Amino acid sequence: MNYSETRELHDLLFSFMDMFHEKFLYSFRKNNESKTGMKKNHAKIIMMLYRFKSLTSTEIARMLYMEKGSVTTLIDQLTESGFVVRCNVANDRRKSLVLLTDSGKAQMEIIIANHIQSMDELFHDVDSNEMEQFADNLKNVVKFMNKL
């Protein structure tokens, strides 16, 4: 790729991220906090654990771009709420995995339902052909990103 092609990709990616935050994440957070009372970083951790099944505190901190101590506090709060548990790693006593409880999984299902409701409202007036094309394009983007 030459500089201008790479620059165009850069600009497209950052435009996409800005619009994604504006159109989706903002409404997801607003809708989620009003319906579940859960703060955004708590919800992020639950979403990550729902996707990856189990993670260490260090992995969560790295993925959230946060200090491990801050993540430990969030995990402690989620543990107190009954949404996550810590389990020791059998071959490494220094590590523990964080997993969702059944209550945490149920909470994530509520979050997903809230997201779907927000998306339904956002896409209400979108033409079905455009919607299908958008979904196909997203599938291609995800497929491509997984290759990187």
- Residues 12-62 have pLDDT tens digits of 999 999 999 998 888 788 777 777 788 889 999 999 999 999 999 999 999
What residue spans define the domains of the chain? 26-147
Check residues 36 and 144 and name the one with the higher pLDDT: 144
Taking the complete model, does pTM exceed 0.75, yes or no?
A: yes
Q: Which CATH number does 26-147 carry? A: 1.10.10.10
- Residues 111-143 have pLDDT tens digits of 999 889 889 989 999 999 999 999 999 999 999
Q: Compute the C-alpha angle 13/147/138, nearest 5°.
A: 50
> Across the strands, what pairs with 87?
97
Task: Give the CA dihedral 20, 21, 25, 29, nearest 10 degrees.
Answer: -170
